[in-house]
Chains A and B, each alone.
Chain A
Amino acid sequence: MSITATLIGQMITFAILVWFIGKYLWSPMTQMMDDRKKRIADGLAAAERGKHEQELAEHKATQHIKKAKEQAAEILAQAQKRGAEIIEDAKDDAKAEGERLIVAANAEIEQEVNRAKESLRAQVVDITIAAAGKIIKKEIDAKAHGDLLKDVVGQL
């Protein structure tokens, strides 16, 4: 139980082992851990960025919706206004048309009345002549009194 030349062998073994483990285990392992650390940090940063972008997008979307709503309201208001205008126009048109129709009808009625008067007149003349002819028989010359009768009828 004393220190022997084994010491030298063990020191060489130790040196080789340190070198080997440093090269094949420590370096790749620490390298990998650093990479992993970096990747995790990157991932977290990306997630943060994504969240931020999402917030931005949401904000944008709400703005769009708000704008769209405003536009829709505006369009609606315009449409209502236009509708009201159209209704007003239609009313005016209808009123004018109605008046026009009334005027036309009145004119037609007048025409009809006149025509009826004309035909009545003609018939009255004929009937009067016939009746007078029957009453006074030959005393009246259709030719001689025709002008007189026409005058009378004209006064009807």
Chain B
Amino acid sequence: MSSSTANEANGPTSVEYIQHHLQNNSIGEGGFWVLNLDTLIYSWLLAGVLMYIAYTMGKTITTDTPSGGQNVLEAIVEFVQQQIRDIFPGSNPLIGPLALTIFMWVFLMNAMDLIPVDLLPTLGSLVGINYMKVVPTTDLSTTFALAISVFALIIYYNIKIKGPIGYLKMFLFHPFGKYLIPVNIIMTAIEEIAKPVSLGLRLFGNMFAGELIFLLIALLGGASLYGLIPQIALGTAWAIFHILVISLQAFIFMLLTIVYLGMAHQDIDEH
């Protein structure tokens, strides 16, 4: 690539640049027992922002004259409530906070994607942090942490609502009736395991791909001065499009969580 010639003196090649950006800042022995510090710290920061907003807003909530911030939060809460009301059978005190948290937290983590790809890593390198991945949802650990938590809740509520026997029956007699029990077990197991896997991979894939395209666009300007114009144009276009993607992915994750938990709350006969 021409960028290698442009940055020959001291800069990284394109491949190195991209790999560098996709490298987590981690500590640990390797294998599973590794902590991705950047993922953790950024998601904690965003969780902290959410907690701060939730705490201050929850304290100053008024019935009569809601301020601007309260209006925004009310709109979000009502939106989530409406989704739950439409999809979720019965009532559950956990589902509301769960869906709201997923929506807001995933949205904020996704939104880190809109910060220029080089800004925070460059600032980090100035203070000696060499690797930094600023979008927590481009880390499989984050998306699967959410997906597995939801999966655990699915199993918990399946057993709670249907009973252990009922849950077992779902594996044995669903979807083909009692004469195809072995097939049923395999089908239902795949169906159930596909839920967390698809949840985690969908979010990860979308965000990772989006980040990768931001990186590729960012390479344009590095290639030559003429690359600046397409870089700005494409970067703007992709960022605007990405606003849709990050909201949509947060929404889908929330919606599927409600759907899956709703299915867990239905009696076996209704399947």
The verdict on A32 contacting chain B, using a C-beta distance below 8 Å, is yes
| CA of A13 to CA of B100, assembled, Å | 15
| CA of A24 to CA of B55, assembled, Å | 6
| CA of A33 to CA of B93, assembled, Å | 16
A13 touching B55 by the CB < 8 A rule?
no
The verdict on B110 contacting chain A, using a C-beta distance below 8 Å, is no
Are A26 and B145 also in contact (CB < 8 A) when A6-B139, A21-B50, A33-B78 are? Answer: no
Binary per-residue interface labels of chain B (32-54) against chain A in the complex, 1 for a CB within 8 Å, 0 otherwise: 11111001100110010011011
Q: Which of B28, B53, B62, B97 contacts A18 (CB 8 A)?
A: B97
Binary per-residue interface labels of chain A (1-25) against chain B in the complex, 1 for a CB within 8 Å, 0 otherwise: 1111111111101111111111011
Q: Which of A7, A20, A27 contacts B145 (CB 8 A)?
A: A7
Q: Return B37 CB to nearest CB of chain A, in Å.
A: 9
Give the residue among B39, B104, B105, B142 with the most A Cβ atoms within 10 A. Answer: B142
A26 touching B97 by the CB < 8 A rule?
yes
For window 176-205 of chain B, which residues contact chain A by CB distance below 8 Å? none
A3 touching B32 by the CB < 8 A rule?
yes
- Chain A contact-residue range equals 20 to 34
| CA of A6 to CA of B136, assembled, Å | 10
Q: Which of B22, B32, B43, B100 contacts A26 (CB 8 A)?
A: B100
- What residue of chain B has the Cβ atom nearest to residue A25's Cβ? B54
| CA of A126 to CA of B140, assembled, Å | 169
A4 touching B145 by the CB < 8 A rule?
no
A17 touching B105 by the CB < 8 A rule?
yes
B141 touching A25 by the CB < 8 A rule?
no
Give the residue among B53, B55, B57, B101 with the most A Cβ atoms within 10 A. Answer: B101
Are A4 and B35 also in contact (CB < 8 A) when A10-B145, A26-B77 are? Answer: yes
B40 touching A10 by the CB < 8 A rule?
yes
- What residue of chain B has the Cβ atom nearest to residue A16's Cβ? B47
The verdict on A112 contacting chain B, using a C-beta distance below 8 Å, is no
Q: Which of B43, B77, B94 contacts A13 (CB 8 A)?
A: B43
A7 touching B141 by the CB < 8 A rule?
yes
Chain B residues whose CB sits within 8 angstroms of the CB of A13 once the complex forms: 40, 43-44, 47, 145
Binary per-residue interface labels of chain A (26-62) against chain B in the complex, 1 for a CB within 8 Å, 0 otherwise: 1111101101100100000000000000000000000
For window 70-124 of chain B, which residues contact chain A by CB distance below 8 Å? 73-74, 77-78, 81, 93-94, 96-98, 100-101, 104-105
Extra contacts besides A5-B32, A17-B47 (10): CB < 8 Å: A4-B141, A6-B26, A7-B144, A13-B43, A14-B149, A18-B98, A25-B54, A25-B77, A25-B97, A33-B77
